[in-house]
Amino acid sequence: MKRKRRVILGTAIALVALLALAWPVAWDAILSGLLLVQVANPLQPGPLYRITDGPARQGVTFPGGGREMVATLYRPSGGGSGAGIILVHGVNETGKDDDRIVWLADLLARSGFSVLTPDFLGFKSLTLRPSDVEELVASIRYLAGRAGGVAPGRVGLIGFSYGAGPTIIAAADARVRDQVQFVVSFGGYSDLLNVITFITTGFYEFGDVRGRTVPNEYSRWIFLRYNLELIPSARDRQILKEIAEAKAKNPAVDAGPLAATLGPEGRAAYELLVNRDPGRVPALVAELGPGIREQIRFLSPSRVIQDLRARLFVVHSDPDDYMPKTESLRLAAALESRGNVHLALLKVFDHVRPNFPKLSVDSFFRVYLPEGRKVFWLVFDLVRQRRSGFWR
């Protein structure tokens, strides 16, 4: 009788221990499912809001990039897990206060991460600059410091579209890379030369994947508008601005007369933008001023990707009219041998925006089931990053 009781007691203790060990993984799976529902209904309150308390929000400042940076820090109501995320808002004028950034920061904080959303002045002014990298490095230092409340080596970064490039470059920087646990590149790129080729000619390739699309005319001229400051001549900048604004409104506008008045550097930029032959792109880029060529080199993650120590999440919509998926394939392939890359090509996003079809029997089996599985494992892997040691 006593032996039977000991067996029952031992079994009960073992079950309790097993449940205790399994619970963190089980909770992360439940949390990932709830987040998946939220992602499918962006900017809307969902099930996670009903079972979690909202985070505390605090406006913070810290030095970075030669200025006083302004950011919002979201702290989980339960104190968090010691892991943090820097959300990089990408190229948009509303910066950290963009509705999508606020919504995502809130979700991540409810999931247990401390979240920092800085304002990046270059991105807010619709440009990419080396100073963006310095501001990102400063943000990592702040979040990893005592004020940020994140444990050493537990910082993650999430960058979208053109903002993903400087995000990876900063994460690979020798000054802070040991503080970075993971990086997410969503709709990002590997080499700006390839991006220019895609924007101007529609051509993309990597390995066995290659193709050509009709270039997005709006993207072509907005790309020029974003980078006008790189043209040394004020006169050429003004002329190119007029061309870009006119073409963005009506691609059929004849810009020839205005283009004929450009100086050498402005003309080189214009010739690159109107070129349709992918084979000519390297030679046309070589005609640009040295400052522009250096910017293209510096802001290409391909030059530093081997210095990255963190886990890399590479996410891309498939297809993507704004950034070729081959750029994400390049990023993933560069670190594939390390086995520390999560690549996800998703059909339920339009570039970086969720785009789930209307739910029906057909869409459930054709889209929701296969794509939902990929999104779930992506979210689950990301959520697990807030745990440390044995629990991850």
pLDDT tens readout for residues 348-369: 999 999 999 888 999 999 999 9
Query: Can you tell me the distance from the alpha carbon of 140 to that of 153, in angstroms, rounded to the nearest whole number?
Result: 10
Using an 8 Å Cβ cutoff, are 348 and 341 in contact?
no
Q: What is the pLDDT of residues 179-227, one digit of tens each?
A: 999 999 999 999 999 999 999 999 999 999 999 999 888 878 877 877 8
Using an 8 Å Cβ cutoff, are 143 and 150 in contact?
yes
The whole-number pLDDT of residue 391 equals: 47
- pTM of this prediction? 0.91
Grouping H, G, I as helix, E, B as strand and the rest as coil, residue 392 is coil
Query: Can you tell me the distance from the alpha carbon of 86 to that of 116, in angstroms, rounded to the nearest whole number?
Result: 5
- The residues facing 59 across adjacent strands are 72
- The CA-CA-CA angle for residues 79, 80, 81, to 5°, reads 135
Classify the C-alpha dihedral 8-12-18-19 as positive or negative.
positive
259: left (phi over 0), alpha (psi -120 to 50) or beta: alpha
The whole-number pLDDT of residue 390 equals: 47
CB hemisphere CA count around 172 (13 angstroms): 20
- Percent of residues, the chain, with pLDDT higher than 90: 70
Using an 8 Å Cβ cutoff, are 239 and 231 in contact?
no
Using an 8 Å Cβ cutoff, are 73 and 61 in contact?
no
Please report, to the nearest 10 degrees, the dihedral formed by the alpha carbons of residues 153, 56, 50, 313 taken in order.
-30
Using an 8 Å Cβ cutoff, are 227 and 288 in contact?
no
How does strand 114-118 pair with strand 203-206?
Answer: unpaired
Using an 8 Å Cβ cutoff, are 141 and 108 in contact?
no
Using an 8 Å Cβ cutoff, are 87 and 97 in contact?
no
Return per-residue pLDDT of the chain as tens, 392 residues: 666 665 565 565 655 554 445 668 888 999 999 999 998 889 888 899 988 999 999 999 999 999 999 999 999 987 766 899 999 988 888 899 999 999 999 999 999 999 999 999 888 877 778 899 999 999 999 999 877 678 889 999 999 999 999 999 999 999 999 999 999 999 999 999 999 999 999 999 999 999 999 988 887 887 787 788 888 899 999 999 999 889 888 888 899 999 999 999 999 999 999 999 999 999 999 999 898 999 999 999 999 999 999 999 999 999 999 999 999 999 999 999 999 999 999 999 999 999 998 889 999 999 999 999 999 999 999 999 998 754 45
DSSP one-letter string for 29-82: HHHHHHHHHHHHSTTS--HHHHHSPPPEEEEEEEEETTEEEEEEEEE-TT---S
CB hemisphere CA count around 335 (13 angstroms): 26
What domains are there in the chain, each with its CATH number? 56-191+308-354 (3.40.50.1820), 193-297 (no CATH)
